[in-house]
């Protein structure tokens, strides 16, 4: 049986992947349109997710697709509570700037997806010294989704300013599930050319030399 994959990519295809990576953006409620995402595109985004690498091929990811207005309302309530606490951590002008930011698109996005890590009750190959690698596997799936969505011109935004235990209760998640992230997906009126937080001068992009070291730090 031939198991080697003979598919090689051209420079053009590699450039295309790089372009998708560079053009991916976090999309928030100020940019979502209410156009519904076609079912086959949702399936493609989820298929991209489950083809991510995972420790010991454990595939520890689970997805709750949320379209219900009532559920979105409950999620938005926990966002509002947590966001108020978050604003209090910043002071003066930074707090005023924080309060002007739109940091979620729960209502505006036609589709919300809560992504969970599902813990198993047996040893997982590779997840024996660094237990958090199960969670990292879920984040690999999330990045695949983000890139696939962008390739389909669908916006996706991460909402982390929520109480994970409240979200678990709202979504009736069993005890052994851990919320990794809550996402808003939908078509957008446009992707920004740079991260919004960079455009608003909240943060600067780091230079490569600040982040890359040879042999030792
Ligand atoms: C783990 C994680 C959590 C994030 N949480 C939020 C969030 O709660 N609200 C928000 O507006 N953006 C959130 N973001 C998006 C970041 O602000 C965004 O990725 C960053 O500013 C860079 O912009 P870009 O994704 O458009 O390149 C999150 C991103 C990551 C990776």
CATH number at residue 42: 3.40.109.10
Q: How much is the average pLDDT of 46-65?
A: 98
pLDDT of residue 113: 99
In terms of DSSP bridges, do strands 61-66 and 154-159 run parallel, antiparallel, or are they unpaired? Answer: unpaired
* Nearest-CA residue for atom 19 of ligand 1: 26
Between the CA of 26 and the centroid of ligand 1 the distance, in Å, is 6
Between the CA of 7 and the centroid of ligand 1 the distance, in Å, is 34
Q: What is the pTM of this model?
A: 0.98
pLDDT tens for 138-181 read 999 999 999 999 999 999 999 999 999 999 999 999 999 999 99
Report the distance separating Cα 95 and Cα 190, nearest Å.
Answer: 27
Read out DSSP for 155-166? EEEEE--S-HHH
Domain housing 71 = 26-204
pLDDT of residue 2: 82
Q: Give percent of the chain above pLDDT 70.
A: 100
* Nearest-CA residue for atom 11 of ligand 1: 103
Q: What domain count does the chain have?
A: 1
Per the domain annotation, does 17 fall within a domain? no
Between the CA of 61 and the centroid of ligand 1 the distance, in Å, is 20
Give yes or no for residue 26 CB within 6 A of ligand 1.
yes
Give yes or no for residue 41 CB within 6 A of ligand 1.
no
Whether the per-residue pLDDT at 39 is higher than 80: the answer is yes
Per the domain annotation, does 211 fall within a domain? no
Give yes or no for residue 195 CB within 6 A of ligand 1.
yes
Q: How far is CA 130 from the centre of its chain?
A: 22
Per the domain annotation, does 31 fall within a domain? yes
Per the domain annotation, does 210 fall within a domain? no
Give yes or no for residue 159 CB within 6 A of ligand 1.
yes
Report the distance separating Cα 186 and Cα 168, nearest Å.
Answer: 23
pLDDT tens for 80-132 read 999 999 999 999 999 999 999 999 999 999 999 999 999 989 999 999 999 99
Give yes or no for residue 160 CB within 6 A of ligand 1.
yes
Q: How much is the average pLDDT of 24-49?
A: 97
Q: How much is the average pLDDT of 14-20?
A: 98
Report the nearest atom of ligand 1 relative to the CA of 202.
21
Whether the per-residue pLDDT at 1 is higher than 80: the answer is no
Per the domain annotation, does 198 fall within a domain? yes
Per the domain annotation, does 5 fall within a domain? no
The torsion defined by the Cα of 21, 186, 159 and 143, in degrees rounded to 10, comes to -30
Identify the CA nearest to 152 among candidates 71, 52, 35: 35
Per the domain annotation, does 64 fall within a domain? yes
pLDDT of residue 183: 98
132, 140, 157, 160, best to mutate for ligand 1 pocket (most atoms within 8 Å of CB): 160
For tokens 């090689």, the residue is: 8
Mean of per-residue pLDDT scores for the chain: 97
Q: How much is the average pLDDT of 189-213?
A: 97
Per the domain annotation, does 162 fall within a domain? yes
């Amino acid at each position: 049986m031939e198991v080697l994959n003979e598919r090689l990519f051209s420079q053009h295809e590699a450039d295309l992947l790089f372009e998708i990576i560079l053009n991916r953006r976090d999309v928030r409620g100020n940019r979502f349109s209410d156009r519904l995402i076609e079912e086959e595109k949702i399936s493609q985004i989820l298929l991209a997710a489950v083809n991510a690498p995972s420790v010991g091929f454990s595939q520890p990811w689970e997805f709750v697709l949320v379209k219900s207005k009532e559920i979105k309302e409950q999620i938005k309530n926990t966002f509002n509570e947590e966001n108020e606490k978050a604003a209090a951590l910043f002071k003066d002008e930074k707090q005023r700037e924080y309060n002007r930011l739109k940091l979620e698109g729960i209502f505006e996005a036609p589709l919300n997806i809560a992504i969970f890590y599902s813990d198993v009750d047996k040893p997982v190959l590779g997840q024996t010294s660094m237990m958090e690698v199960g969670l990292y596997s879920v984040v690999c799936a999330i990045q695949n989704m983000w890139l696939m969505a962008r390739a389909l011109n669908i916006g996706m935004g991460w909402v982390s300013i929520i109480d994970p235990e409240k979200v678990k209760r709202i979504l009736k998640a069993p005890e052994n599930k851990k919320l990794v992230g809550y996402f808003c997906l939908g078509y957008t009126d446009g992707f920004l050319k740079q991260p919004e937080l960079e455009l608003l001068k909240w943060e600067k992009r780091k230079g490569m030399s600040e982040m890359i070291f040879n042999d030792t730090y």
